[in-house]
Amino acid sequence: MNNETHGGGIRRIVIVGGGTAGWMTAAPLAQRLARHPTQPCEITLIESPEIGTIGVGEATLPTIRVYNKALGLDGADFVAKTQASFKLGIEFKDWGHLGNRFFHQFGDFGPPLAGISAHHHWLRLAKEFNQMPEIENWSLASVMARENKFVPPNEDTPGMTDAYSYGFHFDASLYAHYLRDYAVARGVNRIEGMIVDVEQHPENGFVRAVKLRDGRRVEGDLFVDCSGFRGLLIEGALKAGYEDWSNYLPCNSALAVPCASAPQLTPFTRSTAQEAGWTWRIPLQHRTGNGYVYSNNFTSDARARDVLLGALDGEALDEPRQIRFVTGRRRKSWDKNVVAIGLSAGFVEPLESTSINLIETAVGKLLELFPDRDCSPHLADEFNRFMGIRYESVRDFIVLHYKLTRRDDTEFWRHCAHMAIPDSLQHQIELFRATGRVAILDRAGFAEPSFVAMMMGLGVTPKRYDPLADRVDIRAVHGHFAELRDMIAKAAARMPDHGVFVANQAAAAKAASRAAA
């Protein structure tokens, strides 16, 4: 084997593609590696202005805050620079059945009682009382969203009314630019150019260099493929293969369009089930992001456009942009000396805002398993094992949304109700329906309250609850739920309007910027 791929530390990393995935990869690599005092690493990112970015991933999970904090980003500055708003969860409309509305919150339904999750005690009360209010009334995040309130929880000394979390809505292109400035300031070399050829080692197949249309040749020891759906390196060069999940997730198209902001800046994403898929609404400071994810096997593009434009709550600011996709993942996200991150690694539709989370996860795992120049296949195997579990657990959680429908008003929903689903998800649904228990198959994925919110919101009422809940004095259960509901109402009443809070954050960032200048 040639010395260039045999042992020794990584000296040159080449990231192919910019956008959200490319710059989310570049920023932490630059922070950790670019100017290391003893083993600095040259990091180059190549992006082409000729290749557009998808740019619809504008809603996140709370894990984005961990990523931002690790980079040392200032929260108020981030909100101002990315036109961000806060996200307490997702409101679902017309999912399960027409007229249905429920909320998937970032938080729980109150603390456990006697070591038993709160939803079991709620099920016990609901069995005794026909008029039991919906369980989301015991979720502070849900009540805050309903009343359009927001303040961050006290995470230093949290109390019962701090048991919620939050993510963000932001302009994905502004976020990419924000991280680009961060990464370039820390040593990342940005190159504009179109890659026209990939040079591989003749013996082991490692990628040695990429060639640009203007004749430049960029060498590397480790290549990160952030080239989007086309997977320029992972698939174009290495033929890693793709596992197609269209049999579980029938949507294959999307239309995206921004519109003028509504008068009220809401602290949640909205997902509305439509005749052949679902529409999203993501509120930012300067506009609202909208889209329609649908199957063109069950509707036409023209009809989808009409549905999307008819769902807007403000004037459209552009023409809807068409996106085609095949849900699934690469059979190998890490092959030889190429690691695929973002859309090049796989795509599960953005119903639960998981795309950016999967980028965070992949970048973190790459740093955890960072290789020498020989790129041990054992490291690649562990990366692929871990990311495979993550993608499959996200897939199953998304499939759940479709499978549990009781809608039969269109051919699309009839198809979803009767389609086959993964055995892993079937087990989770049947377990919850029979016993109220939640099987968490991926500890890095969605937690118990998320499954409870989704399955109960979609109409699954467990036949039983944990029998140990009956050992708790019913008066204590009543008292606990009454006290918690009262505390939640009072806590939400004290909070500022979400739009006011965002405006204050943006003003604070501008004042700090002026002071620094």
What percent of the chain has pLDDT above 70?
97
Residue 472 phi, psi (nearest 5): -90, 130
Asked if residue 353 lies in contact with residue 61, where contact means CB atoms within 8 angstroms, the answer is yes
* 517 has pLDDT over 80: no
**Which residue, among 176, 200, 183, has the nearest Cα to 81 in the 3D structure?**
176
Burial zone of 86 (CB within 10 Å; 0-12 exposed, 13-18 middle, 19+ buried): buried
**Which residue, among 395, 430, 454, 398, has the nearest Cα to 96 in the 3D structure?**
454
Q: How far is CA 423 from CA 53, 396, 426, in A?
A: 35, 10, 5
Q: Give the integer Cα–Cα distance in Å for 226 and 23.
A: 9
Q: E strand or H helix at 509, and its extent? A: helix 498-516
Confidence of residue 305 (pLDDT cuts 50, 70, 90): very high
What angle do the packed helices 448-457 and 118-128 form, to 10 degrees?
30
Over residues 106-157, the pLDDT tens digits come to 999 999 999 999 999 999 999 988 789 999 999 999 999 999 999 999 988 7
Over residues 227-252, the pLDDT tens digits come to 999 999 999 999 999 999 999 999 99
Burial zone of 45 (CB within 10 Å; 0-12 exposed, 13-18 middle, 19+ buried): buried
- Cβ neighbors of 387 (< 8 A, separation 6 or more) are 329, 333, 345, 358, 361, 362, 365
* 488 has pLDDT over 50: yes
What angle do the packed helices 377-403 and 423-435 form, to 10 degrees?
50
Q: Which two tokens stand for residue 68?
A: 């931002």
Over residues 327-386, the pLDDT tens digits come to 999 999 999 999 999 999 999 999 999 999 999 999 999 999 999 999 999 999 999 999
Q: Give the integer Cα–Cα distance in Å for 274 and 266.
A: 21
Q: Give the integer Cα–Cα distance in Å for 209 and 233.
A: 11
User: Which amino acid is located at 63 in the chain?
Assistant: T
Asked if 87 is an active-site residue, the reply is yes
Residue 266's Cα: distance from chain center in Å? Answer: 19
- Cβ neighbors of 99 (< 8 A, separation 6 or more) are none
Domains, the chain, with CATH or none: 11-58+171-244+330-393 (3.50.50.60), 109-164+397-494 (no CATH), 253-324 (no CATH)
Q: Give the integer Cα–Cα distance in Å for 246 and 477.
A: 45
294: left (phi over 0), alpha (psi -120 to 50) or beta: beta
pTM score, whole prediction: 0.95
What percent of the chain has pLDDT above 90?
90
What angle do the packed helices 377-403 and 411-418 form, to 10 degrees?
120
Identified catalytic residue from 81, 87, 332, 365: 87
Please, which residues bridge with residue 190 across strands?
Answer: 45
Over residues 201-229, the pLDDT tens digits come to 999 999 999 999 999 999 999 999 999 99
Other C-beta atoms lying within 10 Å of the C-beta of residue 319: 10
Q: Give the integer Cα–Cα distance in Å for 55 and 388.
A: 24
* 54 has pLDDT over 80: no
- Cα atoms in the 13 Å half-sphere on the side-chain side of 344: 34
